[in-house]
Amino acid sequence: MVTAEIAVALPALVLVLTLALGAVAVVTDHLRCVDAARVGARLLARGEDAGRVRGEVARQAPDGADIGLDVGPESVTVEVSAQPPPLLRALGVSARPRGVAHAARELVP
């Protein structure tokens, strides 16, 4: 009887563990996206070259992240978004980690 109960409970336990690990991965990737966007906005606001900024953001962002840079006359915006972990994609969960940062451009004398 105990064997039957374990056989029924084990798949549920595996599913809960999979979802918990996937959630941790999404939160970690979200924090990496936010940090990468902040670094990019700071560098763009200082007047750094967009190619260098894109490289630095890509280095800090999760692998395969989409990077968007928007440089306006008075402000800059950096958006970084990543794919959900493969573990969650296999289960049909589509939570995309994303980070956006805005900064005012610094005036260079």
Cα 53 from Cα 37, distance rounded (Å)? 10
Q: What is the pLDDT of residue 108?
A: 67
Question: Taking the model in full, what pTM does it have?
Answer: 0.82
Is residue 68 within 8 A of residue 39, CB to CB? The reply is no
pLDDT in the model for residue 77: 96
pLDDT for residue 61 is more than 80: yes
More confident residue, 59 or 9: 59
Contact present, 97 and 84 (Cβ < 8 Å) = yes
> Domain spans of the chain?
2-104
3-state class (DSSP) for residue 50: helix
DSSP symbol at 2: H
How many angstroms separate the CA atoms of 32 and 64, rounded? Answer: 12
Q: Is 2 exposed, middle or buried (0-12, 13-18, 19+ CB in 10 A)?
A: exposed
Residue 65 has pLDDT above 70, yes or no: yes
pLDDT digits (tens, 9 = 90+) for 27-50: 999 999 999 999 999 999 998 999
Rg (CA), the chain: 20
